[in-house]
A and B are shown apart, each in its own frame.
Chain A
Amino acid sequence: MHIQELILRLQRFWADRGCLIGQPYDLEKGAGTMNPLTFFGVLGDKPWNVAYVEPSRRPADGRYGENPFRVYKHLQFQVILKPSPAKVQEMYIESLEALGIDLSKHDLRFEEDNWESPTLGAWGVGWQVVLDGMEISQFTYFQQSGGLELKPVAAELTYGIERICMFLTGQDNIFDLTWGEVTTDQGVTPVTYGQVRQREEFELSAYSFEHADLKLHWDLFAAYEKEGWSLLHKHKLHLAAYEQALKMSHAFNVLDARGAVSTTERPGLIKRVRDLACACARLYLGMEVEAPQGPSGKMVVA
């Protein structure tokens, strides 16, 4: 099983089950949940089924491409089903079979794992799906997002593409996975995950652990925040404002990986991202939006 084959099968499977196949959102983000297809899609009462791959960046997890299991950027396959269907667990299990996993020979368990995203004002309850002792997916019933109760409730399925691929092929090193095959006049050449991504892992790790300019990122964090609130208030542009919240979140992650965020500062910074994201959610639903109080008690946006 190759990385690209895995993605293609999941897309085919969920398209056949009535999902739109979305695309990754072209901004840095830590998880597929942050894609507007999910963040705004789960709000409100309209039915919404969507599936897509999301490259997800976690600067603190970077290991310079040297650790066989941890990476700065990994691929999530994200499915949103709203409202959550009665047979959602069965559908998920069928999707594993579509990947070639013969469940009559494996041990499949759903173990409690509740999910929370403090930057999005979102939480849900659910499980980590464990196959033969390995966590292969996160399965969540979204209860709240953007600080708002979700009615109806959406089910979110998140597959860890690399993990599943390593597991299916018995590989001990993520960089040895086969991404796919390139066919030319000279023949068929397999291409590994390492060939596609290892240099990127090294460079992005070096950047976020050593070279990222701290002052620049502190400034960016504040500038995106200001821009975000201004877009919300003056121009009522919730999508554009939400992009600023995503950028704040990434700037925060870079600062965090550099060890620049103290434990005491941390919750305050996360709250600033959340305040903006929640305000975007409210504006999207046509609700009233108030600017938050800045740290000094002054309004962040005049």
Chain B
Amino acid sequence: MSKKAPARKTGSAPSDRRQEERRTTETRRAEPRKSPAKAAPKATPDPGSGPSPLRGKEDFLLELHCEEIPARFLKLLTEDLAGRLKAWAEAQGLGALGVQVFYSPRKLAWRVLGLPTAQPDRTETQVGPPKRMCVDEAGKPTVTGQKFAEKWNVPFEALTFDLVAGKKEAVAMVVQSLPGRPTLDLLAESLPGLIAQLHVPKAMRWGASEFAFVRPIRNILCLLGEHVVPFEVDGVRSGHTTLGHRLYHREHPEPIAITDPTDYDTHLEAAGVVCSFSERRRRMKDEMEGLAWEVQGQIVKDDGLLDTLAEIVEWPKVIRGEFPADFLELPKEVLVTSLKEHQKAFCVEDAKGHLLPTFVTAANRPDDPSGFVKSGNEWVLRARLYDARFFFAEDRKVKLAARLEKLKTLTFQRELGSYADKSQRISTLAADFAARLGLDGKVAAEAGRLSKADLVTLMVGEFPELQGIMGGEYLKAEGAPQALWMAVKEQYRPMASDDAVPASDFGALLALTDKLDTLVGCFAVGLIPSGSKDPLALRRAGMGIIRILWEKGWSIKPLELAKAAFQQVKANATKGEGETLSALEAFFKDRVAFQLELAGIPPAARRSAQAVGGQDLADLKARCQALSAFAEDSRFESLGQSVKRIANILKDENPEHTVDENVLQHESERILAAHLLQLEGLTDPKAILEDLAGLAGPLAAFFEGVMVKCEDEKLRAARLSLLNRLRQAFLRVADFSQWQ
């Protein structure tokens, strides 16, 4: 076998740099000098511009103090400006910065420790005409030469002549030295622009100004070392002071002076503001856990809510309150949702997961001197829970099935009809899918029929995130069988990548059917996600379908389900069946690839397993898992080589199956033939792989000692047949030629 040597490029492409009259070369000092004391005084090129800046490093601090900034934008905005500051500093020759960010409801702040106080000096080289045009034969300056010197304001004698890249002969040059500018000046010039350029997702104007920002800017603190960086944004001048907590300023009317950027956080903390988000979050988490522990409970975990609480306070205080125990008759999900959505409060549960009549929430102050904060929150919570109990009682007065009529007026998708239409489709499909899985079709159809009825209940109207959960709870209260209410309750799972798929079979079936109907329906009317646009969260629905099939181990192909789902929306479809299904095929393929990655299947195993089919997820999963177990097995590398050789040998052959293998001569081929019979009898991918791995040695020996395409027709046919059957055996699990 001859190996092709990779073509190697010799020599580089000719430079196509344009012949410019003026070129600039910048030489920067690698490291600005460490301390001002070492700075060498430098002759100033322009006597009028004052002493050159001391070279060293200073700490930089910028704080925009605003009216309360929406919590969801705090991190986004601070990180945006941090990125812009870094890019700006690089462009100014100030090097790579480490930017610390701080934020609290009224503050966005950035700090850089050790910012160079000036740009490094640079030299600029101006390239002029060729030497022969500047100097005549007698060595005297020509008019051209003098003009070039005049243009750059230097005497002719200051010109140098040398070869430069891109020129074939010596040219005239003027080397100018440009002193680096003070960082303070650069910041003062650039910060207003950097701030104005911030991408604010929902910008507002205020007062009579045209300036738009996230919320009105009321104070700007900006220091480089102890010096104020002077600039102005929308009429607010920067200074060296800031503001603490509103409560603090009731007793201390004066603003807080900051003279050193490193004091920023400690000075603010003394004025009632913990400006680090992670610090606030940490303290609140600790305090909450302590408060829950005092009542022998634990916090019902919700990282998103904890983030929100740490974003809406300047001081990380947590309070615990109680609500009347009779509200505990409400479903747990209702209490958790109501407390979270209305009061940004956590529920507390006992070791068995039963809720306690206790809640924990944040307060933006260090204490609760009169107990008003606690009693106020308790009062509001009672009102909210009273409402929730009212909804729960009202909703149960009407059976869920009696609400179906009202679904006709609730649009699912303009192109796909109402939720009544959708329920009908889901019901029919769920019964069909149940039959394929050997589940009770009647239960499936009923679950589908009732699945969306809770959308018109008061509780779901108030808390949309309780959809499904309420339907399940109300059916349970009506005395419906568990399989039915559980299916309705679980139908929206998995709601996110960290959410589990439905635990019950009918729940999984209903979730699968609902998502398929949405997905196929939308694809059929051309609502297909593209790029970052996926307003209907179809990718999440697709992922849900794949995850359910994968985790349930159901051996049905998503595309076949999609085909059945298409028949249900056919009347509304604007795209043909073929077009819709082929778009879905590609869509599913991406989701499956992602699922394999999530499941931790190594790339080699993924590639080779998918190469022989990935429609049946249960089968793909079994093969991938078996392959993963062998991923580290060195025998598989040689197996890959052998498979490629087999493919090459069989390329132009048409081997028959029915050949007399008794003609085989070599010992290695006899071993292979004997092994093959055993191999073909196996069905479990793991057992097949175990067996295949054992073939690595005999295969190597076979290629070593046997000439497949020999003269003897019979022997040749037998050998080709053997190889073909071997290949078929391989392909039942994976295409090993994709292994590497």
* A83 in contact with B247 (CB, 8 Å): no
Give A67 Cβ to nearest chain B Cβ, in Å. Answer: 7
* B207 in contact with A110 (CB, 8 Å): no
* A106 in contact with B390 (CB, 8 Å): no
Give A268 Cβ to nearest chain B Cβ, in Å. Answer: 12
Interface residues of B in 65-83 (CB under 8 A from A): 67-68, 70-72
> Complex Cα distance A125/B205, Å?
9
Among listed A14-22, A130-138, A177-185, A188-196, interface-contacting one: A130-138
In the complex, B361 has a CB within 8 A of chain A: yes
* A68 in contact with B207 (CB, 8 Å): no
> Complex Cα distance A170/B379, Å?
8
Find the A residue at minimum CB distance from B308. A111
In the complex, A103 has a CB within 8 A of chain B: yes
Find the B residue at minimum CB distance from A110. B68
Find the A residue at minimum CB distance from B365. A107
- Chain B hits for A109, CB < 8 A: 68, 105, 312-313, 364
* A83 in contact with B207 (CB, 8 Å): yes
Sample (17) of A-B pairs whose CB atoms are under 8 Å apart: A67-B387, A104-B250, A106-B373, A107-B363, A109-B364, A111-B68, A111-B312, A112-B71, A132-B375, A132-B379, A133-B361, A134-B376, A141-B204, A141-B216, A151-B208, A152-B209, A263-B409
In the complex, A252 has a CB within 8 A of chain B: no
* A141 in contact with B206 (CB, 8 Å): yes
In the complex, B370 has a CB within 8 A of chain A: yes
- Chain A hits for B390, CB < 8 A: 67
- Chain B hits for A111, CB < 8 A: 68, 71, 312
* B67 in contact with A110 (CB, 8 Å): yes
- Chain A hits for B105, CB < 8 A: 109-110
> Complex Cα distance A107/B206, Å?
26
In the complex, B423 has a CB within 8 A of chain A: no
Nearest 5 pairs between A and B by C-beta? A132-B376, A112-B70, A133-B377, A110-B68, A152-B208
Kindly identify which residue among B218, B312, B365, B386 contacts A86, using a CB–CB cutoff of 8 Å: B218
Interface residues of A in 53-79 (CB under 8 A from B): 67-70
Give B736 Cβ to nearest chain A Cβ, in Å. Answer: 56
Given known A109-B313, A112-B70, A127-B68, contact A86–B207 (CB-CB < 8 A): yes
Interface residues of B in 356-380 (CB under 8 A from A): 361, 363-365, 368-370, 372-373, 375-377, 379-380
Given known A132-B376, A263-B409, contact A108–B381 (CB-CB < 8 A): no
Find the B residue at minimum CB distance from A124. B204
Give A174 Cβ to nearest chain B Cβ, in Å. Answer: 10
* A133 in contact with B202 (CB, 8 Å): no
* A263 in contact with B381 (CB, 8 Å): no
In the complex, B539 has a CB within 8 A of chain A: no
Interface residues of A in 114-173 (CB under 8 A from B): 114, 124-125, 127, 131-134, 141, 143, 151-153, 155, 167, 170, 172
Give B209 Cβ to nearest chain A Cβ, in Å. Answer: 8
Find the B residue at minimum CB distance from A140. B204
* A114 in contact with B372 (CB, 8 Å): no
In the complex, A84 has a CB within 8 A of chain B: yes
Kindly identify which residue among A112, A131, A141 contacts B376, using a CB–CB cutoff of 8 Å: A131
- Chain A hits for B386, CB < 8 A: 68-69
* B205 in contact with A143 (CB, 8 Å): yes
Interface residues of B in 155-214 (CB under 8 A from A): 202, 204-210
Kindly identify which residue among B205, B250, B368, B379 contacts A134, using a CB–CB cutoff of 8 Å: B379
Interface residues of B in 33-73 (CB under 8 A from A): 67-68, 70-72
> Complex Cα distance A110/B386, Å?
25
> Complex Cα distance A68/B409, Å?
31
- Chain A hits for B68, CB < 8 A: 109-112, 127
Chain A interface, number of residues (Cβ within 8 angstroms): 40
For chain B, what secondary structure do more than half of its interface residues adopt (helix, strand, loop), or is it mixed?
Answer: mixed
Kindly identify which residue among B205, B250, B380, B387 contacts A133, using a CB–CB cutoff of 8 Å: B380
* A106 in contact with B372 (CB, 8 Å): yes
* A84 in contact with B207 (CB, 8 Å): yes
In the complex, B27 has a CB within 8 A of chain A: no
* A107 in contact with B202 (CB, 8 Å): no
> Complex Cα distance A86/B206, Å?
9
* A108 in contact with B370 (CB, 8 Å): no
Given known A67-B390, A125-B202, contact A262–B382 (CB-CB < 8 A): no
In the complex, B343 has a CB within 8 A of chain A: yes
Give A93 Cβ to nearest chain B Cβ, in Å. Answer: 8
Interface residues of B in 323-378 (CB under 8 A from A): 343, 345, 361, 363-365, 368-370, 372-373, 375-377
> Complex Cα distance A191/B345, Å?
36
* B208 in contact with A134 (CB, 8 Å): no
Give B318 Cβ to nearest chain A Cβ, in Å. Answer: 12
> Complex Cα distance A132/B364, Å?
9
In the complex, B728 has a CB within 8 A of chain A: no
In the complex, B665 has a CB within 8 A of chain A: no
Find the B residue at minimum CB distance from A129. B68
* B382 in contact with A152 (CB, 8 Å): no
Given known A105-B370, A110-B68, contact A134–B363 (CB-CB < 8 A): no
In the complex, B582 has a CB within 8 A of chain A: no
* B409 in contact with A103 (CB, 8 Å): no
- Chain A hits for B365, CB < 8 A: 107
- Chain A hits for B411, CB < 8 A: 262-264
Give A99 Cβ to nearest chain B Cβ, in Å. Answer: 14
Give A43 Cβ to nearest chain B Cβ, in Å. Answer: 15
> Complex Cα distance A97/B376, Å?
17
Q: A106, A151, A172 — which one has the most chain B CB atoms within 10 A of its CB?
A: A106
Kindly identify which residue among A83, A84, A105 contacts B369, using a CB–CB cutoff of 8 Å: A105
In the complex, B383 has a CB within 8 A of chain A: yes
* A153 in contact with B70 (CB, 8 Å): no
> Complex Cα distance A264/B218, Å?
44
Q: A114-B202, A132-B373, A152-B209 are in contact. List 13 more A-B contacts (CB 8 A).
A: A68-B383, A84-B216, A103-B246, A106-B373, A107-B372, A109-B68, A109-B312, A112-B71, A127-B68, A134-B377, A152-B207, A170-B375, A172-B379
> Complex Cα distance A69/B210, Å?
41
* B376 in contact with A103 (CB, 8 Å): no
In the complex, B257 has a CB within 8 A of chain A: no
- Chain A hits for B379, CB < 8 A: 132, 134, 167, 170, 172
In the complex, B410 has a CB within 8 A of chain A: yes
In the complex, A89 has a CB within 8 A of chain B: yes
- Chain A hits for B67, CB < 8 A: 89, 110
Give B210 Cβ to nearest chain A Cβ, in Å. Answer: 8
* B380 in contact with A134 (CB, 8 Å): yes
Kindly identify which residue among B312, B343, B372 contacts A105, using a CB–CB cutoff of 8 Å: B372
Given known A69-B386, A133-B376, A172-B382, contact A125–B204 (CB-CB < 8 A): yes
> Complex Cα distance A256/B189, Å?
56
Given known A107-B373, A132-B376, contact A153–B409 (CB-CB < 8 A): no
Given known A104-B247, A111-B312, A133-B381, contact A263–B410 (CB-CB < 8 A): yes
Interface residues of A in 261-285 (CB under 8 A from B): 262-264
* A112 in contact with B72 (CB, 8 Å): yes
- Chain A hits for B382, CB < 8 A: 172
Q: B250, B383, B410 — which one has the most chain A CB atoms within 10 A of its CB?
A: B383
